Each structure stands twice: as C-alpha cells, then as structure tokens.
Structure 1
Amino acid sequence: MFGAIAFGAVFLVVGLVLAGVSVSFLADAERAPGTVVALEWRNDDSGASRKATQNDKPAAYPVVEFTSADGTPRTFRSSTGSNPPSYEKGERVEVLYRADSPENARINGFASLWLLPLIFGGIGLVIGGIGTAVAVVGRRRSRG
C-alpha cells in the first residue's frame, strides 16, 4: 500500500511542478501570430520498451513560423505531436514565447501547455487514491 501511495504522490508532485512551469511560462510569455508551415511525421520510439502494436503510428508534430517582437523570423517544432494531426499546414496559430528565449516557443493550445501536467497529476491521483483506499480499508478490517 505504501508503495502505491508513494508512487502516486511522486506523480502528483511531478504533475503539479509541470503545471507550475506552464503557469510561469504563461505569466511571462509574449504572444505572436504564427503559421504551421509543415507537419513533421515521426514515430515516438521509446527504445526497448516499445511494443509492436497499433501505437506504432507516427505522430504529426507541427513546424511553426512566427516573427518575434524584435522583428526576427523564427521557426520551431512543437514538442507535442498527435495522430490524427491537431493542426493543418497553413493553419494560423497563436505562438507563446519568452522574449529572452524565443527559440523555446510553444503553440498556445491545450495539449502543449496542459497535457503533461494532467497526465502526471491524474495518474498520481488515481494510483495514490487507490493505495490510500486500500490502506484505509485494510486498517479498518484489522481493527474490527
């Protein structure tokens, strides 16, 4: 039980830290219009742990061009891909970036800002909650 609670707590903390990073990024971010100029299709290989299933489908990662506040044209590849693609070539998007590091831009979208915090936080809540419930029920049974 303790292992499940600890595992869940670690995932929940990671989710909260990632959410904090997104909130901090949003607080300091500049905004600029951008255009998806390409979709980069690639497989998410995770080495030896990769299983040969329907998850072998490649994901589309948008490549976005925008002009930062200093007038410099910039291009970045989103770190969030999907299949089917979330964006189409030529689609206009809002770009968020920090003035001191415009190369680390993100598309202003749910997945690029909140997907990882929700996944980690959700897994943490579920596993930690199950571990806590099992521990509480076990403790009540041992007393009764």
Structure 2
Amino acid sequence: MRVQVRGRGARRWFTFGAIAFGALFLVVGVILAGVSVSFLADAERAQGTVVALEWRNDHNGGSFKKRKDDKPAAYPVVEFTSADGTRRTFRNSTGANPPAYEEGERVEVLYRADSPDDARINGFASLWLLPLIFGGIGLVIAGIGTGVAMATRGRS
C-alpha cells in the first residue's frame, strides 16, 4: 500500500509535526533523566528489605480496555531504617511480572534526608526506565521526521 501526500505544504506539516512531537518527547526524557540525576546526587543510602509484593492491575481507573493477556504486576513494598533511626515503609513505583524482587530480599534504598518518604530502590528501572522510554521514543520520531525532511528536500 502506498500513501501519497499531496502538496509540499502537507509534507512540510508532517515533517514539522514529527520533529516537534519527537523533540517534545526527547525534552521530557532529558528532564526525567535530570530529576534522576538530581535525586542520586542528594540521596542518602540505606539497606532495606522487601517485606511484601503488592500485586496490582494498573489500568488508569479503567480508561483502557482490559485485554485477556493483561497480567498484574508485583510492586515491592520495602522497609528500611532512615538515618534518624525511624523505620519507614514504601511501595516502589515500578512493578514487574515476573517480579523483579522476592519477599525477604535485601535491597539498597535511596531516599532524600529532608523527605525520607520519597524513597526508591536503587535499581535501573526505578531510576532510568521512564527517561529512556521518553528519550528513545523522541529520538525515533524526530529521526523519522528529519529523515523525511531530508529525503523530500533532495527531491524538491
């Protein structure tokens, strides 16, 4: 199947839209990476233990249709002691199926000293998954738009 876009104006709008949309995603990815770097720079470290796995289906309040292959994800619930001696518990924001952690597993916890409730497991997914997803999508879409622009520029 061949799709033909009529007129140079339509091609320009398509390429501009793809580049702008990709650039927006790329900027969001860079901002999220900056948030992770900032968090790592200020983070205190503590040893924690996965005390439970919370199994959940996340479908944004039912706004997405449930597919038959949807499976719940396991979100680790971690307990740690902050520097002030207080025992704290948090649920990690990243879940997986199969579970990335087991109950009783020891993990390194990163948290802000001024806000110990803002804690994360020191792991790749917790810190870098969203920046990579947004940045990667942005690069691909902006790259496609740039490729189309370069290809059509040579023909114009």
Cα deviation code 1:71-124 (max 9, x no counterpart): 000000000001111000000000000000000100000000000000000000
TM-score normalized by structure 2? 0.88
Q: Which has the larger radius of gyration?
A: 2
2:26 equivalent to 1:12: yes
Provide the secondary structure at the position in 2 that maps to 1:7: helix
The match for 2:133 among 106, 119, 143 is 119
Q: Which amino acid aligns with 2:64?
A: R
The match for 2:91 among 77, 80, 84 is 77
Consecutive unaligned residues of structure 2, counting only runs of 5 or more, are: 1-14
Consecutive unaligned residues of structure 1, counting only runs of 5 or more, are: none
Q: CA RMSD in A?
A: 1.1
C-alpha distance in structure 2 between counterparts of 1:83 and 1:48, whole Å: 20
- Segments of 4+ moved more than 4 angstroms: none
Cα deviation code 1:5-34 (max 9, x no counterpart): 000000000000000000000000000000
Number of aligned residues: 142
Q: Shift of the alpha carbon at 1:50?
A: 1.5
Q: Which residue of 1 aligns with 2:5?
A: none
Provide the secondary structure at the position in 2 that maps to 1:135: helix
Q: Which residue of 1 aligns with 2:64?
A: 50
Provide the secondary structure at the position in 2 that maps to 1:3: helix
C-alpha distance in structure 2 between counterparts of 1:78 and 1:54, whole Å: 26
Q: Shift of the alpha carbon at 1:56?
A: 1.9
Aligned residues: percent identity?
Answer: 82
